[in-house]
Structure 1
Amino acid sequence: MSKKILILAGDYVEDYEIIGPYVVLSTVGYEVDVVCPDKKKGDTITTAIHDFEGAQTYSEKRGHNFAITLDFDAVKVSEYVGLVIPGGRAPEYIRLNKRVLEIVQEFDKDKKAIAAICHGAQVLTAAKVLGKRKCTCYPACSPDLGDNYKEVAIDGVVVDENLISSPAWPGLSKWMKAMLDYLEAKITLK
């Protein structure tokens, strides 16, 4: 079986929520491809750093340039065992891309791991894959999920079948552990 993971991203994706999964999954031996609609291998996307600094919502600062590793048009879902959908502002517009929705639907049809964090749940709802399953997201996105929304602590995680979700980057470690558990990843230290 393939040991490849796909990350769907776009400009102003949340910095921690793309870099964290990329590093974790690569470290444990997965080949990780990062794609963005209308971008090719070697192009970059701009990330955003969101922080909780006491305002009514998170603050946003420009993050890093993150390199795309595969042409968007070259994605073949059959080559991957899991999908990661980071948050930030990218989900609000990549969900308008028909192929993005088809990719999510293909992963879900085959019950492959789908890990969404923060605003990433907006892509799940646009792809109409939730059914009766529960997931979580950044609280401001909860109206998008309706009855599918499950409230958890900001560092919590919800697993319902192949859907793995967390509200925001403080949950990165639990979120990635839940994905690795779903993938039955074996990690051995020497």
Structure 2
Amino acid sequence: MEKSKKILFLTGDFTEDYETMVPFQMLQMVGYEVHAVCPDKKKGDTVKTAIHDFEGDQTYSEKPGHNFVLNYTFSEVNPGDYEGLVIAGGRAPEYLRLNQGVLDITKYFAENNKPLAAICHGIQILTAARVVNGRKLTAYPAVGPEVELAGGTYVNVPVDDVVVDRNLVTSPAWPAHPKFIRAFLDVMGVKIDLGELVSAEATV
């Protein structure tokens, strides 16, 4: 894969920590240039992340996470420069979906059948952009009613699973990262040769 290929990564304040940190780094690991952006923020600014966990309450708990440094300026984004779009979850999507620029970018990837991935509450941006009509997808369960109201078919899968509908890749939450990223790379047309890994281990 050429180093010049780019992924747009959408995040924001109080995004889920793992759902920002892990995909951002995993996509860089395989060679993509990943531009992490947030509306009204520029390169070098930070977003605060939140750690969501399940500790016996009726919903998830929330604790402070890291300060994640954005590496690109949202106002300079040209969607046509990117091979795919990844949307992080957490609390950020509930306010990011009010930004028309975010919705326009999301519609661009959907309407041009370009790879589009969202996890957990990130699906709230897909429903607000009205790009799930007639599609099968999953999300954090509390977002399921929004998917149905937006004309999509909500698929209830285990928290570590993924749903793929053509160019659209969705997962319920961060435990799905291995399958979520693998499925997104498949949609992107990236193949990782595990034979090379086996050969390397054999020589150690």
SS in 1 for 2:49: strand
Over the matched positions of the two proteins, sequence identity in percent amounts to 57
User: Whole-Å Cα distance in 1 between the matches of residues 190 and 21 of structure 2?
Assistant: 20
User: Any runs of at least 4 consecutive aligned residues in structure 1 with deviations exceeding 2 A, and if so which?
Assistant: 186-190
Match of 1:154 among 154, 159, 166: 159
Match of 2:183 among 178, 181, 184: 178
Number of residues paired by the alignment? Answer: 190
Q: Normalised by the size of structure 2, how large is the TM-score?
A: 0.90
Q: CA deviation at 1:187?
A: 2.7
Q: Can you give the 5+ residue segments of structure 2 that lack an aligned partner in the other structure?
A: none
2:21 counterpart residue number: 19
Superposition pairs of residues 90-109 of structure 1, within 5 angstroms: 90-109=92-111
Q: Can you give the 5+ residue segments of structure 1 that lack an aligned partner in the other structure?
A: none
User: Whole-Å Cα distance in 1 between the matches of residues 143 and 80 of structure 2?
Assistant: 30
Pair 1:63 & 2:68 matched: no
SS in 2 for 1:7: strand
Q: CA offsets per residue over residues 88-146 of structure 1, 9 Å max, x none?
A: 00000000000000000001111111110000000000000112001111011111111
Q: CA deviation at 1:148?
A: 2.1
SS in 1 for 2:179: helix
Q: Normalised by the size of structure 1, how large is the TM-score?
A: 0.97
SS in 1 for 2:57: coil
Superposition pairs of residues 70-149 of structure 1, within 5 angstroms: 70-146=72-148, 147-149=152-154
Structure index of larger Rg: 2
SS in 1 for 2:137: coil
* TM-align CA RMSD: 1.2
SS in 1 for 2:26: helix
Q: CA deviation at 1:186?
A: 3.1
